[in-house]
Structure 1
Amino acid sequence: MWQVLVSGVVVFPGLFFAFRKVLPSVFSRWTDADVVLVSERLISSIHAIMATVAGVIVVSSCSRNVITDRHWLATYFVIWYGVPYMSYDIFAMYLSHYYRFRVKGREDYQEHSLRTVSSFVQKEFPLVLHHIALLTLLFPFTMFLRNDQGDYFIGCLFLTEISTPFVSLGKILIQLGKQDCWLHKVNGIMVLLSFFMCRIVLFPFMYWAYGAHYGLPLYAVPLHVSLAANLGNLCILSPQVYWFVLLCLKGYRLYKRSGKSRGMLQAEPLSDHTKEE
């Protein structure tokens, strides 16, 4: 077990280091901020794919009895790759924040300091809190507090990562200057759909599945499960709702901007034609 844990600790920082070395040779005009951001996004996608595959295996294997059915991945994926990834990702997000402001010429970002760390935590507080909540709530619950029950629901939580590759692809396309291409627009729709289904709807679905097992209506399930489980779900769900609202607002702004651009393009030929007449 410890060998696999070490591999999880090594894999993500190792890939991050490798991407930071390879990407500048492929995209020579990229800044350090570009390289770090894309490296972070690529590794997030790799972890998300691993978590999604693990989630599908666990959910499909434990669907007969959502309480007592067991699968070893429900516990060991968290130990082997979940905890190492969340710990690494906090550091990677900090580096992305640091280089983004350093490239902009901020004098206080010429070297790492408590001030740059504090600025990162303040600016990215929801993300940092989300990661810390997973490390301090999901890990102890997975390992010690569920009495070897509920592997099905742990697998469901793995499936929240389905939206991550789409989010990462959107950021990478923006870095490549492809935000106006059809792929970016289609990917934006997939971001909203996958995020809504797998990070928001998934939680009432888990309550429904629990209620179906015990013959309870959905509204009665929160009163039947433990306070710790309700609080844990709330801590995970709350930032998801916040981020989904931000995604919707961003999509709306892009839609309005696209509409204005089309209006300008349609008006220009009419203007030229009028001048010729």
Structure 2
Amino acid sequence: MLLPLAWGSLFFPGLFGLCTWGLRRARPAWTYNDCVMISTRLVSSVQAVLATGSGIIIIRSCSNVVTDRHWLAREYVWFLIPYMVYDSYAMYLCEWYRAGDQSSRQPLTIFRNFLSKNRLMITHHVVILCVLVPVAQLKQQHTLLYKVNGILTLTTFFFCRILLFPFMYWSYGQQQGLSLLQVPSRIPFYCNVANAFLVAPQIYWFSLLCKKAARLFSAPSAKKDG
């Protein structure tokens, strides 16, 4: 637990500092704000690649992704915690440099703007750090808190990762005066193909979450006591 936590605390801020320093040397004409913005995106991309790679390793190593356990799934959570803290600071840093010259910066105003513009992402990070991680580490799968957490996960996943796609089609239809069913035939074919490739794994992962939830809620009472 402590080792991946320590590595994450060194890796993400260190990578951010290294990227910023490298960009300042490689692109001296760029402003510090530009270097900071690009560095935060590079670190986020690296984290996304690491998370995706970890997921692929876990899936390929488990014969049953619903019931099996893999050490990487547990350890990567602790490696991810420092990233959430770093990312919150990096977002605030970007907002600070976007505010303009040092003389015109009002810390309280900048902080309010930061909270206003990033409230969804901040809520996401806080919930993961303060709710999802502790609940997942408790391993008390038959407690009410664990079940509530599972329901929230299913709900947010369904609305934010699956219904997002028909919502995009519906929004485009509203702008163009089309019905939802007319939109696929009125947009470029490659857009439909790209969306299909994007939504397919989301549906697959959602089905796995549903299977896990069904197994959890249908568990016999004997297991609950154990």
Q: TM-score, normalization: structure 2?
A: 0.64
Residues 4, 76 of structure 2: 8 Å contact kept:
no
Q: What letter is aligned with 1:136? A: C
Instruction: Look up the SS of the partner of 1:65 in the other structure.
Output: coil
Q: What residue in structure 1 maps to residue 182 of structure 2?
A: none
**How far apart, CA to CA, are the structure 2 residues paired with 1:3 and 1:207?**
31
Identical residues among aligned pairs (%): 32
**How far apart, CA to CA, are the structure 2 residues paired with 1:127 and 1:140?**
19
Q: What residue in structure 1 maps to residue 88 of structure 2?
A: 90
Q: What residue in structure 1 maps to residue 76 of structure 2?
A: 77
- Label 1:144 to 1:209 Cα distance change in 2 as closer, same or farther (>3 A): same
**How far apart, CA to CA, are the structure 2 residues paired with 1:205 and 1:22?**
40
Residues 66, 210 of structure 1: 8 Å contact kept:
no
Q: What letter is aligned with 1:8? A: G
**How far apart, CA to CA, are the structure 1 residues paired with 2:41 and 2:195?**
17
**How far apart, CA to CA, are the structure 1 residues paired with 2:209 and 2:121?**
28
Residue 53 of structure 1 and its aligned partner are, at CA, apart by 0.9
1:140-192 deviation digits (Å, cap 9, x = unpaired): 232114549xxxxx9xx9xx9xxxxxxxxxxxxxxxxxxxxxxxxxxxx89x9
Residues 16, 39 of structure 2: 8 Å contact kept:
yes
**How far apart, CA to CA, are the structure 2 residues paired with 1:29 and 1:195?**
41
**How far apart, CA to CA, are the structure 2 residues paired with 1:195 and 1:32?**
39
Q: What residue in structure 1 maps to residue 184 of structure 2?
A: none
| Alignment of structure 1 residues 42-57 onto 2, 5 Å | 42-57=42-57
- Label 1:91 to 1:196 Cα distance change in 2 as closer, same or farther (>3 A): farther
Structure 2 residue 99 is matched with structure 1 residue 101: yes
Q: TM-score, normalization: structure 1?
A: 0.53
- Label 1:210 to 1:123 Cα distance change in 2 as closer, same or farther (>3 A): closer
Residue 193 of structure 1 and its aligned partner are, at CA, apart by 4.3
Q: Structure 1 unaligned runs (5+)?
A: 149-153, 161-188, 215-220, 227-277
Residue 117 of structure 1 and its aligned partner are, at CA, apart by 1.5
Pairs aligned (count): 173
Q: What residue in structure 2 maps to residue 23 of structure 1?
A: 23
Residue 20 of structure 1 and its aligned partner are, at CA, apart by 1.8
Relative contact order, higher structure (CA 8 A, sep 6+): 1
**How far apart, CA to CA, are the structure 2 residues paired with 1:139 and 1:146?**
13
